[in-house]
Chain A
């Protein structure tokens, strides 16, 4: 194991309650706090733990490379990744919206240059909730995919990955290189300390473009309207269990 690539997306912060614009043209993003997609943070944490374990157990030097696609300000999220412990970062800068298939092709172009043993991503981004990029990347890279990982064990050139599936937990074994997308319970990402932020400023962050990688960002799926969800009617508050049972009986529910 020599190199791990972690794909990171800049998204509206987890704690922001997103609101739809009144003209239905999109969601309000002006002045909204942006962060690293929480699942990608977990992906990075896992890569860093593999790096640290390798260094401790057999003096290995695993390089962790954080990559992203997005507007110039995405450098902020890559600096966060560097502060967490990534060794270097690459931003594929574009002002255009990037669909999952385009993102997968972009990451493939980077993977072909960098030859990572492992690519980690979050299982989904919390903005478009698409849950596609890792699987698409694995397909076009012609490598294994292990999605929704809650446990990752690397042994030589293999990874045993426990996956969170609807029925419970499933374990698969994949040959490296492979793509792993991570679920919530894989780990708890570390907090970034101030000295690490200072150190991260000196780490290399390269900026490239879709053009330079030979990628065209066509919009194959067009968003024609963005609306707020239907609201549920506010209900009634009952005073005790007897009244609750009464209401449920009247509704024919019990």
Chain B
């Protein structure tokens, strides 16, 4: 039997859907028994959510005041202390998991496989390299624990209907004081979350200004979509960093992705190629985005987007 420990991502209130995607990935490990570990100041609410995810056998709560914010230097030694009973340790390839999992792997003295996109066996996986220009099949040593991050865009979220046990763990682990949380700034938005939205409208440098992005927000709100941006648009200051889609931003897999004024650099395409349908609107008919788009429209976005917004409701 393989015992998989998933490090759950949450904000103290809501279990991040990335965790449910890790569960789906873990389920494809042959003969897997899945446990979700939750570290926080008070994980009662998120533990109940994790216990209801289909396929989860057990939920471990590690509540401690120091765990109020997910600092890798604080969490990693606690997870390393939990690891003894498990063969696999999975975390999502979100900024939370990418920061944390390698620190755990190094404490355990084992390598990590990043961005699992497919499971071919308990120790055999596929993952992208070179911004997704190549896919490698890798094999890890079954004699060692395997630490991995799960490329969340490659897996659907596990459903509900589970009834896992919930246990609280007290770990006698000394924690460092050298790393301290100061604060966070996030653009609060009522729009769907970019990483889990079914529809995403995304803008590029051709938008020309932060002001013009309002055009996209208005259209996105009409169709209930999240809003993303290319790296060029973020670098130019038209959109905040959390909206960036691509190799170094968010990698997403919505049902529909509408790329507006985005030329389609390979680093951007990496972030969207799991979208079911890609729609491209660009005035340059030769733009690389049209090579991957399912539907393309060549023209001026400043005329097309308002018209599109008007027509989709009719």
> Which applies to chain A's interface (DSSP): helix, strand, loop or mixed?
mixed
Instruction: Say whether A115 faces chain B, with CB atoms less than 8 Å apart.
Output: no
Mark each residue of chain A from 168 to 205: 1 if its CB lies under 8 Å from any CB of chain B, else 0: 11111111001000011100000000000000000000
Instruction: Say whether A212 faces chain B, with CB atoms less than 8 Å apart.
Output: no
What are the residues of chain B within 8 A of A254 when measuring CB–CB? 223, 256, 312
B137 x A220 contact (CB < 8 A):
no
Instruction: Say whether B238 faces chain A, with CB atoms less than 8 Å apart.
Output: no
- Residues of A in contact with B, size category: 35 or more
Residue from the list B241, B255, B311 in contact with A169, Cβ < 8 A: B241
Cα of A100 to Cα of B106 in the assembled complex, Å? 10
Cα of A244 to Cα of B307 in the assembled complex, Å? 11
Instruction: Say whether A18 faces chain B, with CB atoms less than 8 Å apart.
Output: yes
A27 x B134 contact (CB < 8 A):
yes
B140 x A220 contact (CB < 8 A):
yes
B296 x A126 contact (CB < 8 A):
no
What are the residues of chain A within 8 A of B291 when measuring CB–CB? 234
A226 x B293 contact (CB < 8 A):
no
Report if A232-B241 is in contact (Cβ < 8 Å); known contacts: A104-B106, A170-B183.
no
B295 x A12 contact (CB < 8 A):
no
Interface stretch (choices B19-27, B54-62, B184-192): B184-192
Report if A17-B241 is in contact (Cβ < 8 Å); known contacts: A185-B234, A236-B296.
no
What are the residues of chain B within 8 A of A19 when measuring CB–CB? 133
Instruction: Say whether B182 faces chain A, with CB atoms less than 8 Å apart.
Output: yes
B103 x A135 contact (CB < 8 A):
yes
The tally of residues in B whose CB lies under 8 Å from a CB in A reads 86
A227 x B135 contact (CB < 8 A):
yes
Name the CB-closest residue of A to B149: A131
B255 x A166 contact (CB < 8 A):
no
Instruction: Say whether A214 faces chain B, with CB atoms less than 8 Å apart.
Output: no
Instruction: Say whether B168 faces chain A, with CB atoms less than 8 Å apart.
Output: no
What are the residues of chain B within 8 A of A171 when measuring CB–CB? 182-185
A135 x B106 contact (CB < 8 A):
yes
What are the residues of chain B within 8 A of A174 when measuring CB–CB? 178-180
Instruction: Say whether B48 faces chain A, with CB atoms less than 8 Å apart.
Output: no
Cα of A126 to Cα of B131 in the assembled complex, Å? 7
Instruction: Say whether A147 faces chain B, with CB atoms less than 8 Å apart.
Output: yes
B98 x A131 contact (CB < 8 A):
yes
What are the residues of chain B within 8 A of A142 when measuring CB–CB? 176
Instruction: Say whether B250 faces chain A, with CB atoms less than 8 Å apart.
Output: yes
B98 x A168 contact (CB < 8 A):
no
Mark each residue of chain A from 9 to 33: 1 if its CB lies under 8 Å from any CB of chain B, else 0: 0001000011110000001000000
A216 smallest CB distance to B (angstroms):
13
Within 8 A of A (CB), among B238-261: 240-242, 247-248, 250, 255-256
Within 8 A of B (CB), among A122-149: 123-124, 126-140, 142-148
Report if A168-B72 is in contact (Cβ < 8 Å); known contacts: A100-B112, A236-B296, A253-B255.
no
> Which applies to chain B's interface (DSSP): helix, strand, loop or mixed?
mixed
Instruction: Say whether A165 faces chain B, with CB atoms less than 8 Å apart.
Output: yes
B139 x A221 contact (CB < 8 A):
yes
Instruction: Say whether B210 faces chain A, with CB atoms less than 8 Å apart.
Output: no
Report if A229-B273 is in contact (Cβ < 8 Å); known contacts: A18-B134, A168-B187.
yes
Cα of A100 to Cα of B292 in the assembled complex, Å? 33
Cα of A220 to Cα of B290 in the assembled complex, Å? 40
B135 x A228 contact (CB < 8 A):
yes
Residue from the list A184, A223, A241 in contact with B304, Cβ < 8 A: A241
Mark each residue of chain B from 66 to 106: 1 if its CB lies under 8 Å from any CB of chain A, else 0: 00000111001000000000000000001110111111111
A129 x B138 contact (CB < 8 A):
no
What are the residues of chain A within 8 A of B199 when measuring CB–CB? 253
A123 smallest CB distance to B (angstroms):
8
Cα of A239 to Cα of B299 in the assembled complex, Å? 9
B312 x A245 contact (CB < 8 A):
yes
Report if A223-B138 is in contact (Cβ < 8 Å); known contacts: A145-B73, A165-B95.
yes
Residues of A within 8 A of B (CB): 12, 17-20, 27, 99-101, 104, 123-124, 126-140, 142-148, 150, 160, 163-175, 178, 183-185, 220-229, 232-242, 244-245, 247-248, 251, 253-254
Nearest 10 interchain pairs by C-beta: A168-B186, A135-B102, A136-B106, A139-B106, A235-B294, A132-B102, A225-B137, A171-B182, A165-B95, A175-B178
12 inter-chain pairs at a CB distance below 8 angstroms, sorted by A residue, are A17-B133, A132-B102, A164-B242, A165-B242, A168-B242, A220-B110, A223-B137, A224-B137, A229-B135, A237-B297, A245-B312, A253-B256
